[in-house]
């Protein structure tokens, strides 16, 4: 995977996205920031430079704003889209609402750069692109995590 070509969208963070956006840029990813659903959907739908991962704040208002996530998923089409929730761990009920909207990845504060890189790589992984290791012809289906990743 070549991070310099990967685009990550920070959605609905308001003005609290600066430090996170900077950390993502330092890892080599292009970072887009949107707070409006239509602008975010337009960025996701660009066929030559699609967004495949969207980071959401942990306090994203569900179910009130659930239609926005549906709109973003439709905009991605067959390219697919993965949501990552970032911030302070919400209450159990909010976690259930996130799972209901197909949010499967999270980064609970505080997190290290290696955890951020791991989760971004997981969100951006596309098995149809092939591999850099020509010796490995198949996708590895086992979930792998860094041994130093905190629980």
- Residues near 47 by beta carbon (within 8 Å), at least 6 away in sequence: none
128's enclosing H/E stretch is: none
Residue 115 has pLDDT above 90, yes or no: yes
- DSSP letter at 62 equals T
Average predicted confidence (pLDDT) for the chain: 84
- Predicted pLDDT at 127: 67
- Integer Cα distance of 66 and 21 in angstroms: 23
pLDDT band at 125 (very low <50, low <70, confident <90, very high): confident
Residues 17-35, mean pLDDT to the nearest whole number: 91
Residue 69 has pLDDT above 90, yes or no: yes
- DSSP letter at 81 equals -
Tokens representing residue 50 in the block:
């699609």
∠ CA 108-114-120, rounded to 5°: 70
- Predicted pLDDT at 135: 55
Residues 123-149, mean pLDDT to the nearest whole number: 63
Would you say 71 and 37 are in contact if contact means Cβ atoms under 8 Å apart? yes
Higher pLDDT, 126 or 34: 34
Tokens representing residue 144 in the block:
């792998």
Cα separations (Å) of 103 from 14, 134, 138?
20, 32, 26
Residue 1 has pLDDT above 50, yes or no: no
Higher pLDDT, 37 or 151: 37
78-111 confidence digits (pLDDT tens):
878 999 999 999 998 999 999 999 899 999 999 9
84 φ/ψ angles, rounded to the nearest 5 degrees: -125, 125
N residues, the chain: 151
Give percent of the chain with pLDDT exceeding 90. 53
Residue 34 has pLDDT above 90, yes or no: yes
- Predicted pLDDT at 56: 94
- Predicted pLDDT at 85: 95
């Amino acid at each position: 995977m070549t991070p310099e070509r990967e685009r990550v969208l920070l959605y609905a963070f308001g003005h609290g996205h600066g430090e996170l956006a900077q950390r993502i840029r330092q890892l080599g990813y292009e970072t887009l920031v949107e707070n409006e659903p239509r602008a975010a959907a337009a960025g996701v739908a660009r066929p030559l430079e699609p967004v495949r991962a969207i980071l959401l704040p942990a306090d994203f208002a569900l179910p009130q704003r659930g239609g926005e996530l549906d709109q973003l998923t439709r905009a991605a089409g067959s390219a697919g889209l993965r949501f990552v929730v970032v911030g302070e761990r919400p209450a159990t009920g909010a976690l259930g609402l996130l799972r209901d909207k197909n949010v499967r990845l999270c980064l609970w504060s505080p997190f290290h750069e290696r955890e951020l890189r791991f989760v971004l790589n997981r969100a951006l992984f596309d098995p149809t692109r092939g591999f850099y290791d020509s010796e490995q012809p198949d996708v590895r289906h086992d979930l792998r995590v860094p041994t130093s990743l905190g629980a």
